[in-house]
């Protein structure tokens, strides 16, 4: 076995038919250490998640994160999913998400700031018609403590979202750009 784990992030979104392009990097969530291996034109990238490397299913004979876990992982490490824009479009196109399972990962593993970022973005897609249960939004809102940035590595310039104590330093237009054509 190359890397113990399961297909995750944008690779899982592709297996669920939620992104159109075929990524040349295949992401594997693993409880062990990160690594990378080139196989032909593909790069297999193992992403260490430690105890968070859970929530998989056998899909088409391939160990893959469940849809709910895929979305948790994408919020946890959005860089491996292409960006918040890709995540929000996939959420919009997903037909059925197990929101109880999704929320269980936030209760077990998420920091307050991850809950704030996720809650803000889920509220944006809910306004576009995605059926996000109110109890999911309320739980994430209950974790709001101190101000945080949507993208921790970007400067603190952006719009302050008081309700979420969040600085949107990425931009609603970029997050939902696909929805506006």
Mapped onto helix, strand or coil, the DSSP state of residue 31 is coil
Question: Contact at 8 Å (CB) between 118 and 88?
Answer: no
pLDDT of the chain, 181 residues: tens digit per residue: 567 899 999 999 999 999 988 779 999 999 999 999 999 999 999 999 999 999 999 998 999 999 999 999 999 999 999 899 999 999 999 999 999 999 999 999 999 999 999 999 999 999 999 999 999 999 999 999 999 999 999 999 999 999 999 999 999 999 999 998 7
Q: Which domain holds residue 76?
A: 6-180
* β partners of residue 29: 6, 47
Half-sphere exposure of 68 (CA within 13 A, CB side): 16
pLDDT value for 121: 98
Instruction: Please indicate, yes or no, if residue 44 is contained in any of the structural domains.
Output: yes
Rounded to whole angstroms, the Cα distance separating 104 from 48 reads 20
Residue 1 lies in a domain: no
Specify the pLDDT at position 21.
82
* Res 72: pLDDT: 98
Q: Whole-prediction pTM value?
A: 0.94
d(CA 157, CA 169): 6
Number of domains in the chain: 1
pLDDT at 180: 85
């Amino acid at each position: 076995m190359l890397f113990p784990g399961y297909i995750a992030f944008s690779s899982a979104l592709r297996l669920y038919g939620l992104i159109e392009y075929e990524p040349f990097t295949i992401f594997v969530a693993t409880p062990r250490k990160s690594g990378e291996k080139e196989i032909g034109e593909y790069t297999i990238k193992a992403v260490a998640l430690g105890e968070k490397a859970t929530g998989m299913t056998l899909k088409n004979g391939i160990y893959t994160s469940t849809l709910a876990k895929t979305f948790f992982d994408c919020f946890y490490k959005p860089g491996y999913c292409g960006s918040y824009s890709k995540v929000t479009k996939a959420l919009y196109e997903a037909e059925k998400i197990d929101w109880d399972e999704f929320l269980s990962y936030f209760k077990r593993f998420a920091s307050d700031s991850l809950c704030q970022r996720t809650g803000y973005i889920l509220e944006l897609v809910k306004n576009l018609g995605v059926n996000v249960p109110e109890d999911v939004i309320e739980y994430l809102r209950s974790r709001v403590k101190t101000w945080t940035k949507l993208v921790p590595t970007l400067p603190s310039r952006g719009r302050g979202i008081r309700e979420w104590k969040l600085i949107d330093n990425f931009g609603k237009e970029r997050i939902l750009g696909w929805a506006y054509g």
